[in-house]
Amino acid sequence: MMEDRRLTINAELRAAEPTPQPTAQPANSNQQGNADNNPQPAKTAQDSPKKLSGYAIVWNTPSKDLGGFKEVVSPDALKGVDLSNVLMLNDHDYTQVLASVKAGTLKLTPDDKGLHFEATLPDTTTANDVFANVKAGNLDSCSFSFDVDDGSDKWEKDDQGNITRTINQIKDLFDVSVVAVPAYDSTNVATNNSDNKNVNVDTRSYEKFIKGENKKMTEKTIIDNNEKTETRSFEDFIRSHGEMRDGLTTSGATAVIPEEVVTPVLELKNSKYNLAQYATVKTVSAGSGHYPIAKRNEKATLATKEELAEIADVDANMFEDVPFDVKTRAGKIALSNEIVEDAAVDIVGEVKNQLQKLVDNTDNQNIMKVLTGDKFKKETATSTDDLKKIFNVELDPALNKMWLVNQSGFNYLDTLKDSEGRYLLQPNPAAASGFSLFGAPVVMINNAVMPNNADGSFPMIAGDISEAVAVFRRNQVTAQWDKFDQFAQGLSVIVRSDYEPISSDAAINVSLSNGKGAGK
């Protein structure tokens, strides 16, 4: 996720000076004070909270040039967006919180002009300094940080060659901030104190954008009359000192040839499956305990009841009591800030994707360990009839049955035919492998995850994985932090989970061979 920061045109940021409230005198009071001769002090302005108000976002108002294009925000961009966790910060610094929607000190109201805010400031040094600077006109701008999903923005080029990006839908709004130097043109701050009422100051520059942490914007390609025009990001702007002519940058009269050619990270293809999607996944609030999971009760019935007779207890165990003991599994990686800053690709985002794949691999390995354990019955099959017997007789027909096979086993099954010469594996677009066996979907597992048996036979698992395996998830955390002593960033993923068997009759381990040492 790339977090963008944008400054707001016509922010109308105002500092509302607290109004002193006079203290009412008791009816029997006199000018000499009360009985103990200690008059009550009158309330002052400091007794009332200081407030800021203005617009964090203004609809359909162009930004400054953001490196070859301008940007506007659609009036519908915040529809459906959860604003309950938005903070108001000083200069996007999360250590300098000014107000919070959750705490009730920040009110965000979309209207016809934009996103209006009202903030009640705490009595802190930071808040008092911000208020004083807004009142004095030293701070006069607002900003907001957000992210968008791919495809939720629109790029257009007019007849004069001007490019405009329209943000039609914001995914998340993280914060609104009071800032000193914005990238938008017309954000303004006004103070309505007695010395300076309705003062509007327009001061905008690129300084904040250039110095900000958002050093890279996603590169976009705009197709116009079958020609591709590359939209340059601020990273390019900074590197080229703002000059570009036919792909070359200029510094004075000297041509500077780019020294690097960077392509996106080449990602080797991996299977995009996680066996947890087939298991029963339960979120637990404790590290260990017992979880009741409803059982199948094909034989249980309701007893006949005579009139006014007592209702009999149900003669069946309705739940499987599955114990769990959550284990913590984690991994971390360090990235130098040189790599992060100099790369033309989102290295941090790529690493996070790879860490998530490690989570998938962990799920797959532990689920397979449960399925191939002693809890479930083992069978051997050397013919199609053996497979049919396992599928039709030994597994309860109420199960939502499927087949898990490795690559080698799938290849062997793909060569088998019935007595009429028809292949056993039949096309099934809904199955993960695209095929079904005896009407049940087939999921093909990588040989590395599900290797051949020691005797060369092919491993298969038949049954209902959701009734065979429970995955207990406590939580999953992805963390990112600065390693100041190494000028690096640390990324980690921590998963707290457990994997346990449920019903022993819900799955069967099958060793498939042709009776001639298949797979050897």
Of 192, 21, 262, 16, the closest CA to residue 120 belongs to 16
**H or E element in which residue 389 lies:** helix 384-389
**For 392, phi and psi rounded to 5 degrees?**
-85, -35
How does residue 186 score in pLDDT terms, banded at 50, 70 and 90?
very low
> Which residues, 6 or more positions from 430, have their beta carbon under 8 angstroms from its beta carbon?
441
Query: Whole-prediction pTM value?
Result: 0.47
Q: And the tokens for 480?
A: 């990112």
> Which residues, 6 or more positions from 395, have their beta carbon under 8 angstroms from its beta carbon?
401, 462, 463, 464, 505, 508
DSSP state of 468: H
List, in sequence order, the alpha helices (H) in 22-86: none
Average pLDDT in the 89-106 region? 91
User: What gap in Å lies between CA 224 and CA 251, rounded to an integer?
Assistant: 30
Spacing of C-alpha 481 from chain mean position: 17
Q: And the tokens for 42?
A: 């009158």
With tokens 């914001």, the residue in question is 170
> Which residues, 6 or more positions from 375, have their beta carbon under 8 angstroms from its beta carbon?
501, 504
Q: And the tokens for 492?
A: 């980690």
CA angle 470, 472, 474 (to 5 degrees): 170
User: What gap in Å lies between CA 204 and CA 496, rounded to an integer?
Assistant: 47
Q: Is the pLDDT of residue 277 over 60?
A: yes
Of 49, 8, 16, the closest CA to residue 135 belongs to 16
| pLDDT for res 282 | 87
| pLDDT for res 404 | 94
Q: What percent of the chain has pLDDT over 90?
A: 29
Kindly list the strands in the beta sheet with 163-167, ordered across the sheet, starting from the edge strand earlier in the chain: 70-73, 163-167, 153-157
| pLDDT for res 120 | 95
Q: What percent of the chain has pLDDT over 70?
A: 71
How do beta strands 254-256 and 249-251 pair? Answer: antiparallel
Residue-wise pLDDT for 152-162, tens only, equals 888 888 888 78
Q: Is the pLDDT of residue 381 over 60?
A: yes
Of 61, 79, 78, the closest CA to residue 70 belongs to 61
Q: Is 106 left (phi over 0), alpha (psi -120 to 50) or beta?
A: beta
Q: Is the pLDDT of residue 392 over 90?
A: yes
With tokens 């390019």, the residue in question is 236
Strand runs (DSSP E) across 311-397, as ranges? 319-325, 327-336, 377-381
User: What gap in Å lies between CA 494 and CA 246, rounded to an integer?
Assistant: 48
CB distance 171 to 149 below 8 Å? yes
Of 13, 5, 15, 4, the closest CA to residue 141 belongs to 13
Q: Is the pLDDT of residue 130 over 60?
A: yes
Residue-wise pLDDT for 202-259, tens only, equals 222 233 333 443 333 333 333 333 333 333 344 444 444 444 444 444 444 443 333 3
| pLDDT for res 234 | 43
Q: What domains appear along the chain, each with residue ranges and CATH number?
A: 4-19+46-213 (no CATH), 265-297+317-520 (3.90.1690.10)
User: What gap in Å lies between CA 520 and CA 410, rounded to an integer?
Assistant: 15
Of 498, 490, 492, 478, the closest CA to residue 328 belongs to 498
| pLDDT for res 22 | 56
User: What gap in Å lies between CA 55 and CA 58, rounded to an integer?
Assistant: 7
Residue-wise pLDDT for 15-40, tens only, equals 776 665 555 454 444 444 444 455 55
Residue 438, classed as helix, strand or coil, is: coil
Residue-wise pLDDT for 69-96, tens only, equals 788 999 999 999 999 999 999 988 888 9
Average pLDDT, the chain: 75
| pLDDT for res 443 | 92
Average pLDDT in the 167-185 region? 79
Average pLDDT in the 474-503 region? 82
User: What gap in Å lies between CA 141 and CA 258, rounded to an integer?
Assistant: 36
Q: Which region among 18-22, 95-99, 109-113 has the lowest average model confidence (pLDDT)?
A: 18-22
How do beta strands 70-73 and 87-90 pair? Answer: unpaired
**H or E element in which residue 352 lies:** helix 347-371
How does residue 515 score in pLDDT terms, banded at 50, 70 and 90?
low
Q: Is the pLDDT of residue 395 over 70?
A: yes
Spacing of C-alpha 360 from chain mean position: 16
CB distance 99 to 121 below 8 Å? yes
**For 436, phi and psi rounded to 5 degrees?**
-130, 155
| pLDDT for res 17 | 67
CB distance 250 to 239 below 8 Å? no
Residue type, 273: Y
Residue-wise pLDDT for 312-368, tens only, equals 877 667 777 788 898 998 888 888 888 777 777 777 777 777 788 888 889 999 999
> Which residues, 6 or more positions from 452, have their beta carbon under 8 angstroms from its beta carbon?
406, 408, 409, 458, 459, 519
Average pLDDT in the 292-318 region? 76
User: What gap in Å lies between CA 83 and CA 51, rounded to an integer?
Assistant: 20
Average pLDDT in the 190-205 region? 32
Q: And the tokens for 40?
A: 């009550």
Higher pLDDT, 410 or 195: 410
> Which residues, 6 or more positions from 402, have their beta carbon under 8 angstroms from its beta carbon?
278, 440, 441, 442, 443, 462, 463, 464, 465
